Amino acid sequence: MMKLLGSPASPFVRKARVMMIEAGIEDVPFAEVTASPLGGEESLNAANPLGKIPALTRDDGPTIYDSRVVTRFLDARYQAGLYPPTRVWETLTLEATADGMMDAAVNITYEKRHRPEDIWFAPWLDGQWAKIARSLDALERQWMSHLSGPLDMGQIAVACALAYLDLRHDDKGWRNGHPALADWFARFNARPSMVDTAP
């Protein structure tokens, strides 16, 4: 039996969980584990040598990771259609953009959580937020038609990235200057899959 390892607060894990709900996947249980850049649970490190989440354990093969591999595998196995062939490159690019936003946002969180404030590296923190800001601008400028189209993994990933900004970096006010994206997210965030996976 497969099992999804992760933490409810992780945007990458949430992406996989939302995907599973949207795809109607009910036979893959979720098991909470603790991950940390300083070393997480041994059960996670044994499943994924990188110690990162999500990780999908399997009886018939090695553990699958990272989030894009997990969601692509589940999409193929359950024929969910969330990577539609007619726009697969756009979907993958949008997902990569969202994952990059998550990476930058998690990096900021880790810097502030695991290092004393007097040694926070401000230029690095600013550089991480700049990646997010540029991505928000790009989403507002050129991705709204895709986001408003039929459901795919790009949309799920963007929604999870924006929700994580609300969770950890609400003081940044990402909605400022992005009215169309904010309106889209308000609608998407009301989906049962998002409500059920809210940390």
pLDDT tens-digit series, residues 18-56 = 999 999 999 999 999 987 776 777 888 888 888 889 999
Domain containing residue 175: 85-191
If asked whether residues 61 and 139 sit together in one domain, one would say no
Contacts of 89 (CB under 8 A, 6+ apart): none
If asked whether residues 52 and 89 sit together in one domain, one would say no
- The pair of three-digit structure tokens given for residue 109, joined into one six-digit string: 């969180």
If asked whether residues 186 and 96 sit together in one domain, one would say yes
If asked whether residues 123 and 38 sit together in one domain, one would say no
If asked whether residues 115 and 38 sit together in one domain, one would say no
In angstroms, the CA 180 to CA 142 distance is: 11
If asked whether residues 68 and 28 sit together in one domain, one would say yes
Bridge partner list, 23: none
If asked whether residues 69 and 108 sit together in one domain, one would say no
User: Last residue of a domain, which of 45, 78, 111?
Assistant: 78
Give me the pLDDT at residue 125, please. 86
Instruction: Using alpha carbons, select from 53, 26, 23 the residue that is nearest to residue 152.
Output: 23
Give me the pLDDT at residue 38, please. 67
Q: How many domains in the chain?
A: 2
Prediction pTM value: 0.94
If asked whether residues 72 and 105 sit together in one domain, one would say no
Contacts of 196 (CB under 8 A, 6+ apart): 21
If asked whether residues 9 and 95 sit together in one domain, one would say no
Higher pLDDT, 38 or 135: 135
If asked whether residues 49 and 131 sit together in one domain, one would say no
